[in-house]
Amino acid sequence: MENNPFLNAQEQLRQAASLLEPQYKDKKVFRAVIEKLMTPQNLVQVELLVKMDNGKTQKFKAFRSQHNDARGPHKGGIRYHHNVSVEEVKALSMWMTWKCATTGIPYGGAKGGIIVDPSALSKGELERLSRAYARAITPYIGVWKDVPAPDVNTTGQIMAWMLDEYEKIIGRHEPGVFTGKPLEIGGSLGREEATGKGGVHVLEQLAKKLKLKPATTTVAIQGLGNVGYWFAKLASELGFNVVAVSGSRGGIVLNDMKKGLNLDAVMAHKKKTGSVTGFIGTRSISNAELLELPVDVLVPAALENVITAENAHRIHAKAIVEMANGPVTPEADEILWKKHILSVPDVLSNAGGVTVSYFEWVQNLYGYAWTKQEVFTKLEPLMVDAFNHMWAMHEKKNVHLRLAAYVNAVKRVVDAMILRGR
């Protein structure tokens, strides 16, 4: 089960449903709605034919899973990865439904993917692949239907190609159909930092609840991509001590953990050498070792399923802020809960990204751009409010934070389904 993300997602829904059911008078209707939420509303599976630079045509398998749209249009990223599978895309689309409901933004969940190693493609091949995918999903997307965005190995440039292809087909401008776009064609200021910034708002609230002062709070971050980098940088600026970080080629931890890393210097070292390892005043550690450091807050910001039943016993952090999607398995959740380690779930911690995507969509719909300050001013109260809702449910039901967030999110979706008579 640990390796099948869709079975994990279904199990998490079952747990939330069992806590919610007593609140509903009509059990039959409630159970029918939960049953519908167990699978996506729609699953698009296509084979894309792409002309390669050598003149040959290559086939690529591609997917778009649309989980639920009771609260609004589907929303979710498109990933390019050789490990993309239909099970993964279905799970991620379900998690997107809960993520949007957690912060209260008016979307349901979706996710797309292509089985491809994008690093093996030329720029021309990448563009032709992206346009082929846009053509395949055009009948299923739209500003009030489904709004895709970048995800693993996809960029603003790829969104630009897809938007252009979509608009050619429909014969008009509709910039809000894709988010995460470059600024020049309707992107939003603040999108780059959004996921990390939202996570740092969560870290601040968590520190208050656990009575941790930033100056004496140690943080370890696995993953230094866009999300991990901005989380590390913004947390450091607030006075938190980021004492360990890692990239794809391993990590580092400060020899003296009383003060934090100089993030700008670490990134300069990484740019120069290709890795964070060897940075002055640190010792090298593996990604697995980083997870087991005796820090106050652990931040998995890279891949899913990194904290499992196998290593959960060795986690020494006081709390976890999940910036990656699905980094903690359901089995690990139970172990951490018994060890009194609180894990703030991905559906809240990394929801800053989709929230600012929502702001981009809103700006596109009324053709007016906000300043970066306006974007961030609107982001913080949504993240803080969602955290407080989750914390209240955690205390009321005495359950771990993921279950608390799921109960709140699933209730919002179930209520929308019942109101619609679905």
Residues with a catalytic annotation lie at: 111
CA dist., res. 325 & res. 92, Å (int): 8
Alpha-carbon distance values, 271 to 224, 247, 264, 347 (Å): 12, 12, 11, 31
Instruction: Tell me which residue of 70, 100, 75, 98 sits closest to 176, measured CA to CA.
Output: 75
Written as six digits, the tokens of 46 are 């296509």
CA dist., res. 149 & res. 355, Å (int): 12
Q: Name residue 282's beta-bridge partners.
A: 254
Instruction: Return the DSSP state at 370.
Output: P
| CA-atom Rg of the chain in angstroms | 21
Written as six digits, the tokens of 218 are 């140690």
Residues 6+ apart with CB under 8 A from 372: 189, 190
* 16-45 burial: b if 16+ Cβ within 10 Å, else e: bbebbeeebeeeeebeebbeebeebbbebe
CA dist., res. 43 & res. 88, Å (int): 12
* 209-231 burial: b if 16+ Cβ within 10 Å, else e: eeebebeebbbbbbbbebbbbbb
Instruction: Return the DSSP state at 142.
Output: B
Amino acid occupying residue 250 = G
CA dist., res. 238 & res. 217, Å (int): 11
Q: Are strands 282-285 and 250-254 parallel, antiparallel or unpaired?
A: antiparallel
